[in-house]
Structure 1
């Protein structure tokens, strides 16, 4: 599979770095030129001159290593400096220095921000685009039609036609309203031009509108200066649409007629509204305004209908530049004001120039831009659990605002087809508000989204790729890659499903059809990794895609027997994988570097960063996938991380699974696993712990490290070297020493006479020896992989001599309480670990690795996992892998999967020679033999092979000790979180695992006494302290809360005691 042809794919995770480079190169310099004037004068004292041509961008000396950022908590940044010239009129001198204007966070090679040593990413936001929008609202029981001209995020103009048939104009401040025709007269448009270009020019409606506008001249004459100022303000907004320059001089009204609407976004919106052709004709501002006036009159007299404002074509993706611009103006204004304040103090006092430069460039004097990014909710902590979770986190989008939480806003619109993922969204309160980008999508320069389509002009031509946005997509007929409607075979022969004008409909197949949308482009990368996903319930499909980003990378993993072909595309979209940049031959390969000799006889060295850890504490380790003497090309993969085998994304193992019952331990979703999974480390994962200490150098309280520390036996000190530090590569167990360290502390006496006597007697102050050694606690055993000993120059002033870090890798095996899952949302908690000899087996002595209940399949409509188990067992016996399309039945127009499955099972019987796997009397099921007695088990079960992985929700992270912690006031249940000393996270699946054992008393204690049953809680306390008898469980506080809420709905609830013997 290493050199197979991969399907068409686009790498759409590089949006942040491209926006950041454009921001620093072009937009930042333009914005600074607008906000900061070139010269400033201070009351004839001095003059300031900003030299924008020599703008400097300096970087920090920190290297972008993940390990160093997480430990040192540093902030690599880009420092922007502006050369400033200060001229004093009294001294007649020039002072030259560089002003530290602002600090921006630096991007690493993986396109992430590094803030406080942590990698963060930006969550993009969907906002309404610039343009003209028409809508209506009720005012005094009258419909008022309004045209909103959105120029940018700050400036909006509103043109409305009210109940008196007057067209009024106002801005977003709503302080003043003027007649729209008066504004047209102000910019030089006469009544003759209005009659000439308006389609209502010769009508009675338009003449009455002109007559009413003459009456508003009288109101204008009373406050002429106020209205004239407002006219100039609105006319200037049309000039400054792109904010590329400022106009300080008086405007010449004669030249406004030759000015057109500059932004191409507004041009496209006008093209869709009015139908003007912008390629052959330039639309000037007067004609645009007349067109808006005609559209308002059409809406008033029901000649046109209002477009859908929630159409995705009217929206854009808010880039990183706009987020920075929102705060940049505020920071620069504050910085210049402080700068003026410092300069006035400096010229009034006798301070030196060096002191002035230190004062101006001090970080505490000015506000840092990193503070805003730390608070911003859209700059999020990067999810680095595996490679897929990092890609999906960078593709997330937030809708316009979190205040709109109705179902219409959360629902999927037809215009969002192929622009947003149909399935992937967040769970809980933000469902439908946090969405994801689909597979292949491109973000344009105007921050809009376009999607690739297959397109051809003639029948004999090959398909070519064409990109379309949502507005152009509505005007074309699009089919979904030969998709048939499976109602009846007779109806499918002459019809095909298409998408046009935001609706689905059927057309005749004889019509020539040329534009096709691939169904994989409707979903995100996580959904495309699930085979047979169209045979699943959409809710389980969403859970399966979410759990792929919550899976832990395993030590031993396998390629899945059933795959979709998208596993290879994850390696193309991943940034953490090392690609070859030059064609050449491999001359050296090791675990830490790769050397390639290129065509120009140069040696190119690629270093592999091993034993790093991610934000979630997962080890990042690179392995080369090439050999010495191999010829590589540019762009070829040469090393992959722990999530890949060769070039395929693999995070699980193919295990044997049985859908049936075994002693009742598989109750609901609880699972029974084979002990061989633990003995063979099938689902074992690696995690890293870091122990850090500092050695103080103080005359009064010194600290020492040495190996011959008392109080500990030789066994606990067996791995220490002569300096008292553990050796690299040693295996450590519980209660082992990894660092032997002691400190001294001066004894404080209450009586000073005794203190002076002892000082005279011994000559020094008496000190206590304090043990400060680091001991491994229970559950943290592992192996030492790295030791760092260094001196930090910044810490020498704090009397810190050395800093020591010890890195320990822990291996976590499967245990009771861990969660494992399949690719179809079929997750479960391990309730019982059985010995291999006790489990049932087939006639060829194959035992199941996982036993799960069969009720979870029909109740959740997970037919896809049944297909995977049957095809998986056939791939195991036939020694092959199956690349299958998700929607193959609809494309072939008959049930191909059924015939293909039975043919593969029949082929197994031919290869083995027996009918153990496929029995024609019970197709798809097999009979098993009991491992304890050797007798054949009655009935038959479904036995197959499927891919399973382990989730991050491990039981070691959940269990913690808690005696009596805080309770919430209303529900009287324990609060959430380990930091708040909250209750155990004992969820629904853990309750099923306990119910499988029939542990009723444990469940009663967990769900009542330790939860919200106040009387039982006090009775348990009296039982432990005073040995009183336990009473039966009373009514819980949450049930009382439900009763009160029902009574609040005016529903009366009464309890009656029913006696069966009374008549």
Structure 2
């Protein structure tokens, strides 16, 4: 679907930002206007609140300080409104500060302590009326639940011919009929308004409710208190308690944005009014519905239907806590009014508006589980992270039903894309084309093929349509010539006649990262999930290409604030690497600044390349500059490589890759990474001081070759590991006892005697590169340490070239670790002297059912020779027939033979190529598949994983080394690592891993005695890990038994554990 058809698509981050602006301009003001009174008279002090003059004060930072991490940067809004105090014929007016909350920028990012973070939206139960059925031991409970803005839940239960009502928090049951009497609804009103008024069943219930008054009379104050609390949520004409002002405030709090009339009519077909409160007829209708369920006159609908859900974002956190914050602030103000006469006015204002007394949401957001560190590996990862959803709370993680995709969620939640592991099915993603309307997710629906009119529908409206997937046509029936299709009706899949009036596109059922996979329908779903995940972990490369086979989702991604577009028509007057100047038709000069040479949260380089030239005429919406992972407005983070499916000297074990050395020479998969060093010079009175100098002792001239005379690294210098980037020494003053000796040495040598400590900074391991920029600061606002008087920021750009241990992957989840880098002369070649760039095992295709990568390899090779590209849709066969893909492939093969004169594809090879041995030049037996596929590099690079471990903690149970580098642990030796050692025959290493380096504590202690005290090395016993290996071999039908030979009769004796 073209992007222009959905101008308010959620893919455009301005949608969420506009909601934030609406919150600032309208929602927050209305909320405070309902809660804050106009005036209060407290202890002869009259307080007047001017809530209409609400103010938002913000803090400002220098632009230079926003380009990198600075833990003092916290852009916030401070909410305040003026109040007036009248006391003793005096008047005091000042701004009363309520709270602070973080800003949200134009890309929906939060800046907390200088770090970009994002809030993950959560799917919760919407406010409304719900019916449920619970089976207990010997009876059935019919329950109606009233949810008020996700704050309070009122339950009305019908069990054993009795109606009970209770609050979910207190769970004190009260007879529902007595509660209606308390609201002023008599038995005559119930009989008159109920549909069961003439039935004996209802009259018996009314009689039994009179007996329940005896329980209330025993403890009248207790039950009256709870009846009053329940009555706050309802309203009746005869109920006079609502004359209280406080009750009106509470009523406005809980009944704002209550149940939609459309939802009630669709769910229960009732005549509920669109009121903010329940009236008498509504409460009696709930009673009728529960009786209907008992006599099977109605069916109880699914509570987990997606129409009963809503999205909660960061604005809900602000609104939910406004009540408590306002109550605390007003209480604090009233308690301190007695200090007005005893203290100065300015001191009183400083006390009221003290920072410690103002609630700051930043403290809460720093530990909030739904506010996460923004993933900025590439533009796609940043986009997908912003539209991640939490499907449920942690309380319901064990319920398997929540992890399923229901038919009501089709088009609202991606069918495949989810997190892996424990949160699978609970952390989900939004599809490609959706719109959020009043916290409800709606999906675009095409209603007419001729005009292509598009309307968006919610889950409730979706049940009213017969919706079919676009061009999903089933085969004709033998008895009928009519075409059939799969349709969605009332959230069920049915087979019916072909519907051409309303249909979904298949791409609208999947997320954007799923739709970037060309042959998605030919992939196994779990591998498609892995392919979508790895696209968000791919690194932007220096040299990249457009994929030969692409989808229509590549350009959609480019419109989401990743690139820079013109906002007006004009002429380009200036272009450089940091700004573009346009002179528009009104003779105004508009400057577009390019945020170049910044580093992301994952330390990858952010760079923009201008695509226009001076004198060019541009129009609104025209592309001005591309980011680092786009080529001509198209998302591209990889290269088209020759892929050979085969084996090479055993290096392709367990999906490992063999790559051509030419990839390293031509920097095909080279990426740029930016690292920064923050160094401070300290000064603490008479104790010590730090200075920078070139004359640092104990370093060679070679190590100081890049330093200037002040000991600072030069810009543009290439630095290696253990090179100096800043020569710095700390000078300690002498003790007072040595003061006379210091004066004597100063007379002799002309220098003051001091203790010197070397505090120079060296390049750490794996961070060699080139110095890009050096910045010096003397402003105290930038310093973390109050003793700092000077601060250096040194930025180093490093190139990461492919090496053994790095990961490459295709778009179908076919990833692999580089096991060997071969010379081009040693690799097999084709008739026209083409050597493969990457060799991977062919076993990984059928074992994982990745047919899509085979299609891409065949099509990619054809398009490579024909110099063409194809825009492919995922439902190619379904749109143009079941054999269209095969026909298209054969047509391109025929063109390849005609125009290029290539005969390597013929009927005998079936798409395979004849290869020759690179070392001997002889023809290899059989044929192999050689194609062109799109490969990228993952951020999991081996340089960041390698670390050395001498000793560290072990697990108390399994005696395995503790995992992760931060805990000084080691890499655990898992099942796949054991397979590799078994395959290559590393018997001695396996023996060590099964005995001394495993859970065998006695053998490990014996080895320690042998190494330290030269005691004899005893034979080790069989460890638990060895028995585990035996069980794994039994699964391969290999039974290994331990036997000993008897000394008497030389017979074999089987030893069991």
Length-normalised TM-score, structure 2: 0.90
Aligned pair 1:563/2:515, yes or no? no
- How far apart, CA to CA, are the structure 2 residues paired with 1:1042 and 1:269? 59
Is 1:236 the counterpart of 2:221? The answer is: no
Give the Cα separation in 1 of the matches to 2:861 and 2:1014: 59
Uncovered stretches (5+) of structure 1, i.e. residues with no partner? 1045-1052
SS in 2 for 1:597: strand
| 1:702-717 alignment runs, 5 A limit | 702-717=689-704
Measured against aligned partners, the alpha-carbon deviations of 1:490-527 in whole angstroms (never above 9, x if no partner) come to 99963221121222221134xx5411011100000000
Partner of 2:61: 62
Q: Which moved more, 1:536-545 or 1:26-35?
A: 26-35
Alignment of 1:99-138 (within 5 A): 99-138=96-135
Q: Flag the 1:400–1:14 CA change in 2: closer, same or farther, 3 A.
A: farther
Checking the alignment, whether the CA contact within 8 Å between 2:36 and 2:51 is kept in structure 1 is no
Aligned-partner Cα distance in 2 for 1:123–1:1007: 44
Counterpart of 1:403 in structure 2 is: 395
Q: 1:773 aligns with which of 760, 772, 778?
A: 760
Partner of 1:24: 24
State yes or no: 1:435 paired with 2:424: no
- Specify the alignment match of 2:417 in structure 1: 424
CA contact (8 A) 2:260 2:274 kept: no
Q: Is the 8 A contact 1:730 1:783 kept in 2?
A: yes
Give the corresponding residue for 1:296: 290
Structure 2 CA distance for partners of 1:332 and 1:1012, relative to 1, 3 Å: farther
Change (3 A) 1:892 1:959: same
Structure 2 CA distance for aligned equivalents of residues 647 and 47 of structure 1: 63
The corresponding residue for 2:314 is 320
Cα 1:302/1:746, change in 2 over 3 Å:
same
2:674 is matched with 688
Measured in 1, the distance between the counterparts of 2:427 and 2:420 equals: 9
Answer yes or no: is 1:471 the counterpart of 2:467. Answer: no
- Deviation at residue 238 of structure 1 after TM alignment: 3.0
The count of aligned residue pairs is 1025
Where does residue 181 of structure 1 map in the other structure?
A: 177
1:925 aligns with 2:922: no
Distance in 2 between the 1:666 and 1:398 partners? 39
Larger mean CA deviation between 921-930 and 697-706 belongs to 697-706
Q: 1:305 pairs with 274, 299, 303, which one?
A: 299
CA displacement at 1:249 relative to structure 2 = 4.7
Q: Is the 8 A contact 2:994 2:1026 kept in 1?
A: no
Quick one: distance in 2 between partners of 1:490 and 1:826?
Answer: 44
Cα contact 1:577–1:637 (8 A) shared by 2: yes
Q: Judge which range, 967-976 or 664-673, deviates more.
A: 967-976
Aligned-pair CA distance for 1:885: 1.7
Which of 838, 845, 864 is residue 876 of structure 1 equivalent to? 864
Report the 3-state secondary structure (helix = DSSP H, G, I; strand = E; otherwise coil) of the residue aligned with 1:111.
Answer: coil
C-alpha deviation, 1:79, in angstroms: 1.1
- 1:481 and 2:474 matched: no
Deviation at 1:387, TM superposition (A): 0.6
| C-alpha contact (below 8 Å) 1:6/1:568 kept by paired residues | no
Aligned residue in 2 for 1:286: 280
Distance 1:1057 1:408, change over 3 A: farther
SS at match of 2:470: coil
Q: Secondary structure at the match of 1:903?
A: helix
Corresponding residue for residue 874 of structure 2: 886
The root-mean-square deviation of aligned C-alpha atoms, in Å, is: 3.4
Task: Report matched runs for 1:484-523 at 5 Å.
Answer: 484-485=473-474, 494-509=483-498, 513-523=500-510
* Segment of structure 1 superposing worse, 383-392 or 207-216: 207-216
Q: How many Å separate the matches in 1 of 2:405 and 2:6?
A: 26
Q: Does 1:95 align with 2:92?
A: yes
- Greater shift, 207-216 or 997-1006, is seen at 997-1006
What is the CA distance between 1:679 and its match in structure 2?
A: 0.9
Displacement, 1:732? 2.0
1:212 aligns with: 208
Q: Secondary structure at the match of 2:259?
A: helix
1:240-294 per-residue CA deviation (whole Å, 9 max, x = no partner) reads: 9xxxx99625999xxx9xxx99856342332123324679999972332222111
> What's the CA shift for 1:639?
1.1
Note if contact 1:589-1:624 (Cα within 8 Å) is conserved in structure 2: yes
Q: Does 1:198 align with 2:194?
A: yes
Pick one of 979, 993, 1012 that aligns with 2:966.
979
Structure 2 counterparts to residues 594-609 of structure 1, below 5 A = 594-609=580-595
* Aligned CA distance change for structure 1 residues 1055 and 998 (closer, same or farther; 3 Å): closer
Separation in 1, partners of 2:554, 2:646: 31
CA contact (8 A) 2:994 2:1023 kept: no
Judging changes above 3 Å, is the alpha-carbon distance between structure 1 residues 187 and 340 closer, same or farther for their aligned structure 2 residues? closer
C-alpha distance in 2 between matches for 1:989 and 1:576: 40
Report the Cα distance in structure 2 between the residues aligned to 1:840 and 1:489, rounded to whole angstroms.
53
Distance 2:569 2:1015 in 1: 82
Query: Does the 8 Å contact 1:238/1:261 carry over to 2?
Result: no
Cα offset, 1:52, TM superposition: 1.7
Q: Is this contact kept in 1: 2:475–2:484, CA < 8 A?
A: no
2:653 maps to 1:674:
no
Distance 1:144 1:755, change over 3 A: same
In structure 2, relative to structure 1, the CA distance for the partners of 1:439 and 1:490 (3 Å cut) is farther
Q: Secondary structure at the match of 1:364?
A: helix
Cα distance, 1:641–1:899 mapped onto 2, change above 3 Å: same
CA contact (8 A) 1:971 1:1037 kept: no
Corresponding residue for 1:827? 815
For the structure 1 residues 630 and 470, does the alpha-carbon distance in structure 2 shift closer, same or farther, using more than 3 Å as the test?
same
Give the unaligned 5+ runs of structure 2: 1032-1038
* Deviation for aligned residue 1:315: 0.9
Task: Describe the shift of the 1:316–1:11 C-alpha distance in structure 2 as closer, same or farther (beyond 3 A).
Answer: closer
- What SS does structure 1 have at the residue aligned with 2:442? strand
Q: CA deviation at 1:195?
A: 3.7
Which residue in 2 is equivalent to 1:944? 931
Conserved? CA contact 1:123–1:379, under 8 Å:
yes
State how far apart, in whole Å, the 2-side matches of 1:189 and 1:875 are. 79
Match of 1:862 among 828, 850, 859: 850
What does the per-residue CA deviation read over 1:427-455, in whole Å, with 9 as the maximum and x for residues that have no partner? 1111111011111111112x111100110
